[in-house]
Amino acid sequence: MEQDIVLTEVALRDGSHAISHKFTTDQVINVTKALDEANVPYIEVAHGDGLGGSSLQYGRSSTNEMELIEAAVDSCNQSKIAVLMLPGVGTVKELRKAHQLGAQMVRVATHVTEADVARQHLALGKELGMETVGFLMMAHMVSKEKLLEQALEMESSGADSVYIVDSAGAFLPHEVRERIRLLKNNLQVNIGFHGHNNLSLAMANTLVAIEEGATRIDGSIRCLGAGAGNTQTEVLIGVLERMNIKTGVDLYKMIDLSEYVAESILEHPQEITKGSFMLGYAGVYSSFLLHANRAAQKFNVDSRDILVELGKRQVVGGQEDMIVDVASELAKQR
Amino acid sequence: MEQDIVLTEVALRDGSHAISHKFTTDQVINVTKALDEANVPYIEVAHGDGLGGSSLQYGRSSTNEMELIEAAVDSCNQSKIAVLMLPGVGTVKELRKAHQLGAQMVRVATHVTEADVARQHLALGKELGMETVGFLMMAHMVSKEKLLEQALEMESSGADSVYIVDSAGAFLPHEVRERIRLLKNNLQVNIGFHGHNNLSLAMANTLVAIEEGATRIDGSIRCLGAGAGNTQTEVLIGVLERMNIKTGVDLYKMIDLSEYVAESILEHPQEITKGSFMLGYAGVYSSFLLHANRAAQKFNVDSRDILVELGKRQVVGGQEDMIVDVASELAKQR
């Protein structure tokens, strides 16, 4: 089937966050079969934080991700299973295991400034004969020049595609436009975009990315992803059809699957709440929300002011102790 | 307060559809007070189908809209209350009554080809000293040239602003861009845009409209509007702040109100479902959904195919008997 855009459905990985990592094998089989029948090219399956993410820190999976990956592989006639891995969270051991079970694509994800960390795992992916993706997370936190440098690093490490990942759902359309354009003009490999809807801009940003030459696009069916969810896959397919851009995916089958996801998987519909909005508006990690709420209570300041200040200071994951400092400073400033 | 964009909050009118016209006086007072404190310039209050809409055909309001309008007016220190009216559904009698109760803006809404029907009510609005808006509904159904002709008709009838209304949530961003641009280049009055999120494009279309010179923008808090809801007001305010475009509205107060709306008004979160998606994708009236489902069952065809065909044939409200004809034809074609 002719395709202009190659879709990766991420609900069975990113959506893991939205349901506290409680995917069952039956759910994964049902969703994967339907995606395969709808002709979705790639289906990502893993813990929300990638291979090996099941832990006290990131949240335990109720079903072992390897069991889910195996079930997904067995459910597919044509779709390929992708796995996400964050080096340090996952290891070569899990990647080898996922490959052995039949995963055909590895997406190696790093913070947008740490692309060099992906080198080993991209190389292993190539060695195993997998398709490889470099996945630059929290991409809004750096200038477009820095982003290009890191994208080139991913390319030189063997990534077949490099994604701009708007983890916090913080990008505005003109920011996506200039970044995709810059990468498109300077890289030989496929350019991808992964959006989140925290500012109600996932679809807008995705269309801009496509206009500028991105050909690899992520979506989650029924917005089953972290925060306010991702670009809603079935809606994107409909919009692209209206624009005569081919995805090769069956729209009606995806709509039927969306109804199944709403009825049988989502605990509550995905919408833009105070929390998910603030992630996008402040441009911070989702893990900061809970910490900011606690610190706000302790110092009697507005948690939103804390998040905005953390965004301004470009605080990254692992620096959670900064949250109390910021709250304390805000309290003194009053 | 300096403003680049003048917002109208439509949840207390458009949102009436989402809760089967069951707004209570207490809810309207709570929402209006909060919007007034947040400095929202205009608040629309009426039955979902405008003044006089409470009926068997459109759905009965559980509280008389005049009582709600009066309560809203009494709750405002600075915000102005707007009413929507569709000539034929509402009459001059209701408009006079709403004005008497303190409504300061009337938005006269017609199907996009029927602007001349608004003449009398726009004239009465001016005579009463109200601010007047021409509201061109289902605007995606005509060419941009036809839209311009109808917008000029609204302008010549005395509208202070003319809105492009994407009732079905069917517009793509480039379509909005060329239409707003054309109106901006040919009208003297304010240009407005009212979006729906059925294709996840309400925010994208709104930003494009603003880029092209629209200064009057509608939103509904927490997407409390028909179909998948409107451009989410509090999110729009945050996005515009990020773009240094001034609305004069207090973001945090709007976020707090959004939480109230979710907890105390919405029966279920607004999301893009099979039904709301199909409205946007096919570009048809929301009232067609139920009829299409019934006809689909009777003729054993897919209701989605019926809706798409109705969209192609540009069937309008009042032609519901066409739905059975289309279903019957589709059944024969198989």
Tell me what the mean pLDDT of segment A13-21 comes to.
95
The residue from A246, A265, A284 where one domain ends is: A265
Percent of chain A surpassing pLDDT 90: 95
Give the domain extent around B83: 6-265
Cα–Cα–Cα angle for B211, B125, B227, rounded to 5 degrees: 50
Q: Is residue B14 domain-shared with residue B100, that is, in the same domain?
A: yes
Is the C-alpha dihedral spanning B255, B257, B262, B267 positive or negative?
negative
Provide, for chain B, the percentages of residues in helix, strand and coil under a 3-state DSSP scheme, each rounded to the nearest 5: 50, 15, 35
Residues A176 and A223 in one domain: yes
Going by C-alpha positions, the residue among A148, A115, A138 that lies closest to residue A317 is A138
Dig out the tokens for A64 from the structure.
Answer: 């072992």
Q: State how far residue B193 is from chain A, nearest Cα, in angstroms.
A: 17
Same domain, A187 and A315: no
CB contact under 8 A, B272 and A199: no
Task: Select from A252, A277, A304 the Cβ nearest to the Cβ of B235.
Answer: A277
Q: Is B287 among the annotated ligand-binding positions? A: no
Question: Do the chains contact at B235 and A207, CB–CB below 8 Å?
Answer: no
Q: Are B247 and B4 contacting, i.e. CB atoms less than 8 angstroms apart?
A: yes
A312 in reach of chain B (CB within 8 A): no
In whole angstroms, what separates CA A90 from the centre of its chain? 16
**Cβ–Cβ below 8 Å for A271 and B271:** yes
Q: A156 a known binding residue?
A: no
Predicted pLDDT at B286: 86
* Cα separation of the two ends of chain A: 62
Judged by a CB distance cut-off of 8 A, whether residue B307 touches chain A is no
Question: SS3 for B115?
Answer: helix
A136 with A98, same domain? yes
Does residue A99 lie in a domain region?
A: yes
Same domain assignment for residues B69 and B183: yes
* B180 interfacial to chain A (CB closer than 8 Å): no
Yes or no, beta carbons of A200 and B239 under 8 Å apart: yes
Structural domain ending residue among the three candidates A265, A287, A319? A265
> Do B48 and B181 have their domain in common?
yes
The verdict on a CB contact (< 8 Å) between A207 and B173 is yes
What CATH number should be reported for the domain holding residue A170? 3.20.20.70
Q: To the nearest whole angstrom, how far is the Cα of A126 from the nearest Cα of chain B?
A: 37
Residues B287 and B259 in one domain: no
User: Can you tell me the mean pLDDT for A116-145?
Assistant: 98
Cβ count within 10 A of residue A130: 22
A193 with A323, same domain: the answer is no
Is the same domain home to B299 and B209? no
Whether residue A75 has pLDDT greater than 60: yes
Say what the pLDDT of residue A253 is. Answer: 98
Quote the CA–CA distance of A107 and A133 in Å, as a whole number. 4
In a domain, A321, yes or no: yes
A199 and A172 together in one domain = yes
Residue A148 has a pLDDT of 98
Residue keyed to tokens 């879709």: A7
To which residue do tokens 């195996």 refer? A70
Other C-beta atoms lying within 10 Å of the C-beta of residue A124: 19
Of B172, B268, B278, the CB nearest to A242: B172
Given A248, A265, A282, the domain boundary residue is A265
Note whether A201 contacts B203, CB cutoff 8 Å. yes
pLDDT digits over B90-121, tens only? 999 999 999 999 999 999 999 999 999 999 99
Q: Residue A1 falls within a domain, yes or no?
A: no
Out of A202, A222, A271, the one facing B270 most closely (by C-beta) is: A271
Taking contacts as CB-CB distances below 8 angstroms, the residues of chain B near A239 are 172, 199-201
Q: Please judge whether A235 and B304 are an interchain contact, meaning their C-beta atoms are less than 8 angstroms apart.
A: no
Mean pLDDT score across all residues of chain B: 96
Does B268 count as an annotated binding residue?
no
- What's A230's DSSP letter? B
Asked if residue A92 has pLDDT above 60, the reply is yes
pLDDT value of residue B1: 52
Mutate to test the interface with A, among B200, B257, B259, B260 (most CBs of A within 10 A): B200
Q: How many domains does chain B have?
A: 2
B140 token code pair: 């995606």
Contacts of A297 (CB under 8 A, 6+ apart): none
Residue B1: inside a domain: no
Residue whose entry in the numeric block shows the structure tokens 């090769």: A248
Predicted-complex ipTM score: 0.96
Per-residue model confidence (pLDDT) at position B3: 83
pLDDT classification of A2: cutoffs 50, 70, 90: low
B121 falls within a domain:
yes
Are B201 and A204 in contact by the 8 Å Cβ rule? The answer is yes
**Is the residue at A81 inside a domain?**
yes
pLDDT of A57 over the 90 cut: no
B39 found inside a domain: yes
Question: Is the pLDDT assigned to residue A71 strictly greater than 60?
Answer: yes
Considering only residues 77 to 136 of chain B, which have any Cβ-Cβ distance to chain A shorter than 8 Å? none
With CA atoms as reference, the chain A residue closest to B202 would be A200
β-pair partners for A84: A107
Mean pLDDT of chain A: 96
Residue A1 has pLDDT above 60, yes or no: no
CATH number of the structural domain spanning residue A289: 1.10.8.60
Say whether B235 and A200 touch across the interface (CB within 8 A).
Answer: yes
Q: Could you tell me which chain A residue has the CA closest to the CA of B263?
A: A273
Note the pLDDT of residue A22. Answer: 95
DSSP H or E stretch at residue A164: strand A161-165
* B65 belongs to a structural domain: yes
* CB contact B277 to A (< 8 Å): yes
In terms of domains, do B192 and B323 share one? no
Q: Which residues of chain B have pLDDT under 70?
A: 1-2
A175: distance to nearest CA of chain B, Å? Answer: 11
Q: Is A17 a catalytic residue?
A: yes
Q: Do B200 and A232 touch (CB under 8 A)?
A: yes
Same domain, A85 and A179: yes
**Predicted confidence (pLDDT) at residue A317 exceeds the cutoff of 90:** no
Q: Give the per-residue pLDDT at A306.
A: 97
Nearest-neighbour CA in chain B from A309: distance (Å): 14
Q: Which of B201, B238, B273 sits opposite A203 (nearest CB)?
A: B201
pTM, two decimal places: 0.97
Interface check B263 vs A, CB under 8 A: no
Could you tell me where the beta strands, DSSP code E, fall in B74-223? Answer: 80-85, 105-111, 131-137, 161-165, 190-194, 216-219
* Chain B residues with beta carbon closer than 8 angstroms to that of A268: 269
